[in-house]
A and B are shown apart, each in its own frame.
Chain A
Amino acid sequence: MNENLITIDTVILDLEADSRVDALYSICAQLFLLRKTQDPSGLYADIIKREDIVSTFAGQQVAIPHVITRSISEPTLSFVRIKSEDFTWGGDDQDVRIIFLLCVPMQDDLQKIRQSQSYIFSSIAQLMSDTVIMDLWLTTSDQQQILNSLQAAFQSNFSVII
């Protein structure tokens, strides 16, 4: 498992954004500042291109945009909590407060990439079924608590799924 997949810097709390586009643009800018990408515009374009195929709204106030892109050098997961309670993803019935953005660098073997990254959203799906975790994600002001919850799940699922 990649230890740098998600760090305290990519756990972003209470992002002010009016729309999906606004939020994704802000996250790409943040990843640029963190030197995760040298091409934030390209990254943003790839994310939107993927989003245009089908919405990544996952229900339970969660969206999971994800992209395989040449605009990033290593797999990077961002946890973003939106400040506004009126934020919606694609339509009025898609209330979202939490965004998981997964960016994976392009390689020749796409199937291998997919298999190697599946454990991430598998773990998130398991965590989403836990109301205590969901409450924690929605309310805590401690980024480390969120990071711990995710890394523990990734650690236990990585060996099972891979």
Chain B
Amino acid sequence: MKLTKLLLAVVVSATMLFVSCKPKDADIKANVEKALKADPTMASTTVDVKDGVVTLGGECKDDACKAHCEETAKAVKGVKSVVNNCTVAAPPPPPPASLSTTIDAAKMQQVKDGLKDMAGVTVEFVGDKAVLKGAVTKAQRMTIMQLLASAKVLSDVTGLTEKK
């Protein structure tokens, strides 16, 4: 009988504990979600609550956003602590720099410097392009193309012929 009573007491108290915590966590979750939703940049953050400990997940756009999510969650009533598992998306690489490069004197010089050891190759700058002429070996052609690309200079190399 004693054991049964004891067991009953354990079950009852466990149930009470369970009952008293469960809605609280759910309330906290709802409140944290509400707070985060107020800012569209944090709206996609996921929220989990267990015994007042909030676990944040999902992807933030940057570190500031991640920190802000954490502060926002901490400010909610009933939150004991915050585990911030948000990941920060890698920033997209900037567009290729050659998109906006124009030919200037320095670029022309760079191309000419690179070609100075290649006898018989001439370069003229027409509009936004370097127009090359002359007879080159396969290896020289590769060097020329790499030189033009590193200088970010568009080219017309149809005048380059295979050196016999």
> Are chains A and B native binding partners rather than an unrelated pairing?
no
